[in-house]
Amino acid sequence: MLKRRAAVARRRTAAPKRGPAGKKLRVGVVKRRSAAVKFGTKARKRRKTGGSARSRRKPAIRFKVKPGSWLNWGIDAGKKDAGDHPIGGEASHQIALNRIWQETSKAKHLSSWPNYWSAAKGYVQGYSQVSGIHAENWVLMPTGKTVSAVLTVMNEEDSVLSVVQELRRLPLKELIVVVNGSEDQTFQKVRSGSDALVVYYQHRLGHDVGRAIGSKLADSDIILFVDGDFTIPAEQLLPFIASVDRGTDMALNNITPYLGSYASLDAVSIVKRFLNLVMGRPDLASNSLTAVPHAVSRKALETIGIESLMVPPKAQIKALLAGLSISAPWSVDVISMNKMKRFNSGERSPVADLIVGDHIEAFGAAFEKKGDRLSFPDKLRKRHYAAE
For residue 291, pLDDT over 60 is answered with yes
Sheet holding 174-180, edge to edge: 197-201, 174-180, 147-153, 222-227, 294-297, 250-253, 326-330
Q: Is-contact 351 328, C-beta < 8 A?
A: no
Higher-pLDDT residue of 235, 58? 235
Residue type, position 163, single letter? V
Residue 307 DSSP class: G
Does 216 score more than 50 pLDDT? Answer: yes
Q: Residue range 205-220: average pLDDT?
A: 97
User: Other C-beta atoms within 10 Å of 234: how many?
Assistant: 18
**pLDDT (0 to 100) of residue 385:** 87
Confidence of residue 108 (pLDDT cuts 50, 70, 90): confident
Q: Give pLDDT, residue 384.
A: 85
Q: What is the pLDDT of residues 168-191, one digit of tens each?
A: 999 999 999 999 999 999 999 999
Comparing C-alpha atoms, which of 276, 264, 242 is closest to residue 335?
264
pLDDT per position as a tens digit, 121-178? 999 999 999 999 999 999 999 999 999 999 999 999 999 999 999 999 999 999 999 9
| CA–CA separation, 369 and 377 (whole Å) | 14
Mean pLDDT of the chain: 86
Percent of the chain surpassing pLDDT 90: 72
Residue 7 has a pLDDT of 53
Q: Which residue has the higher pLDDT, 248 or 342?
A: 248
- Helical spans, DSSP H, in the chain: 2-13, 32-39, 53-56, 67-84, 93-105, 113-131, 160-167, 186-193, 209-217, 238-245, 267-278, 298-304, 312-321, 350-370, 383-387
Q: Tell me what pLDDT residue 337 has.
A: 81
CATH 3.40.50.12500, domain 147-370, yes or no: no
pLDDT of residue 347: 59
Average pLDDT over residues 72-87: 98
Amino acid at 125: Q
Distances (CA, A) of 173 to 94, 223, 241: 10, 10, 13
Q: Is the pLDDT of residue 52 over 90?
A: no
Helix, strand or coil for residue 387?
helix
Provide the residue ranges of all domains of the chain, joining segments of one domain with +. Answer: 67-131, 147-370
Q: Please, are residues 241 and 222 in contact by the beta-carbon 8 Å criterion?
A: yes
Q: What is the pLDDT of residue 339?
A: 56
CA dist list (Å): 83 to 11, 61, 123, 383 = 81, 38, 13, 76
